[in-house]
Amino acid sequence: MPRRVAVTGVGLVTPVGVGTEETWQALLRGQSGIGSITHFDASRYATRFAGEVKGFEPTRWMSARDAKSSMSDPFIQYAVAAGAMAMDDAGLVIDGELAERAGCFVGSGMGGVATIEATHRALLAKGPRHAFSPFFVPQIAINLAAGQLSIKFGAKGPCYSQVSACSSGAHAIGDAFRVIQRGEADVMICGGSEAVVTPLGVGGFGAMRALSPRNDAPALACRPFDLERDGFVLAEGSGILVLEELEHARRRGARMHAECKGYAANADAHHITAPAAEGEGAQRCMRAALADARLDGAQIDYLNAHGTSTKINDAIETLAIKKVFGDHARKLMVSSTKSMTGHLIGAAGGVEAAFCALALAREQVPPTINYTTPDPECDLDYVPNTAREAKLRNALTNSFGFGGTNACLIFGRPEP
């Protein structure tokens, strides 16, 4: 039998809060983290707002020297901070024999974009002899988020990064779950990190006409499943979990937020950005995750939706949920926390998996805010605008990415 896996640590750096508790309480209040862009002058951009991380001081989690050199790109800094929070939450020290039984998987969609941009500007201004830091490559390489966490905590087991657009964080957690199930590790630090609120990030997604243009009301712009939705909101941050073999966690008396019960990954094999008709790939992925968890659809109480606030994706995801869950879809609580955080791209899956674990542990379901005008095509219970108290047995989270990549994770209350 596969080994059981618990979630013993959660760390969050998001647009609604720097810290797990700060983020969670903001979600329960229905607080938006979306506002005008301050990282750069966005006055000439069609979309001039995003979900920026606010008040982040990297030296709380790393030395001033590291913050200015090997960890200077924000996507690495966010991962190190969230990872440190998760490890502190888990009350775990990796040493002795555990070192070789602990690893790190941290996914990202785009890596060190801010460093690439800054270095290119320096290259044009100063030339190649003076533009490049010796840390340039370690600052931009996607696997360095996992690498820095491995170094910081002495985790000598599997260490690499999953790159699958908006599914990256979910794939990292799912793959870490599998590593522990198979007995290849006892502890995995895993999740996603992203920092693409930059000129290239905002410009690129804007050129795809994927972003909401509501510059006059940024906090109202992300409105998943609402009839008046008009695009997603780009965001940044990190969500990191500590996964631990369940008996290992019990032996040391660890608190368990949730149990990781199921995982599935597949592809639409259809289009680089548009979902397959009727969410065919998403349907298969959700069904496979349920089968992996040995659960019937009726045993899922909460679904954290991919819910991007785009016309086609929200309607297709709703249809896919109804196809998979049948009559039970009407009883499911479905919310898109992107309505508050924005879309964290490669970090989204890590952040939203953390939200599922916290929902189970706290018996609270975060809302979908900005839901004011129902869409006939989106007719489920989206926990509109107000958080809800609920005793949950199991929760499922969806992550779907460009290239047709899909990942679904299922978490449940820890059982004997």
**Per-residue pLDDT tens digits for 326-362:** 999 999 999 999 999 999 999 999 999 999 999 999 9
Question: Number of C-alpha atoms within 13 angstroms, CB side, residue 307?
Answer: 30
Domain of 362, CATH number, reads: 3.40.47.10
Mean pLDDT of 275-297: 97
108-136 pLDDT tens trace: 999 999 999 999 999 999 999 999 999 99
Quick one: which of 74, 113, 22, 17 has its CA closest to 341? 17
Cβ pair 409, 162 in contact under 8 A: no
Q: Which of 186, 217, 251 lies at the terminal end of a domain, its last residue?
A: 251
Based on the fold, state whether residues 381 and 266 are members of the same structural domain.
yes
Cβ pair 78, 350 in contact under 8 A: no
Cβ pair 318, 377 in contact under 8 A: yes
Cβ pair 119, 198 in contact under 8 A: no
Res 176: pLDDT: 99
Residue 256 lies in a domain: no
Based on the fold, state whether residues 109 and 210 are members of the same structural domain.
yes
| Number of folded domains that form the chain | 2
Residue 298: domain span: 262-412
Based on the fold, state whether residues 41 and 165 are members of the same structural domain.
yes
* Enclosing H/E stretch for 213: none
Based on the fold, state whether residues 172 and 303 are members of the same structural domain.
no
Q: Which of 200, 226, 251 lies at the terminal end of a domain, its last residue?
A: 251
Residue 297 exposed, middle or buried by CB count within 10 Å (0-12, 13-18, 19+): middle
In this structure, are strands 102-107 and 159-160 parallel, antiparallel, or unpaired?
Answer: parallel
Based on the fold, state whether residues 41 and 149 are members of the same structural domain.
yes
Residue 257 lies in a domain: no
How far is residue 99 from each of residues 138, 158, 173, measured CA to CA in Å? 23, 11, 19
The one-character DSSP state at 32 is -
Kindly tell me if the per-residue pLDDT of 410 is higher than 80.
yes
Cβ pair 211, 205 in contact under 8 A: yes
DSSP three-state, residue 1 = coil
Based on the fold, state whether residues 229 and 376 are members of the same structural domain.
no
18-40 pLDDT tens trace: 999 999 999 999 999 999 999 99
Residue 120, number of CB atoms within 10 A of its CB? 12
Residue 9 lies in a domain: yes
Residue 354 lies in a domain: yes
Q: How far apart are CA 174 and CA 413, in angstroms?
A: 17
Based on the fold, state whether residues 237 and 379 are members of the same structural domain.
no
Q: Which of 184, 219, 251 lies at the terminal end of a domain, its last residue?
A: 251
Distance of CA 62 to the CA centre of its chain: 22
Q: How far apart are CA 264 and CA 289, in angstroms?
A: 5
Residue 120 lies in a domain: yes
Based on the fold, state whether residues 210 and 324 are members of the same structural domain.
no
Quick one: which of 77, 74, 52 has its CA closest to 63? 77
> Among all residues, which ones are annotated catalytic?
166, 306, 343
Res 416: pLDDT: 74
Based on the fold, state whether residues 15 and 103 are members of the same structural domain.
yes
Kindly tell me if the per-residue pLDDT of 415 is higher than 90.
no
Mean pLDDT (the chain, rounded): 98
Distance of CA 301 to the CA centre of its chain: 20
Based on the fold, state whether residues 123 and 186 are members of the same structural domain.
yes
Q: How confident is the model at residue 398 (pLDDT cuts 50, 70, 90)?
A: very high
Based on the fold, state whether residues 291 and 408 are members of the same structural domain.
yes
Residues counted in the chain? 416
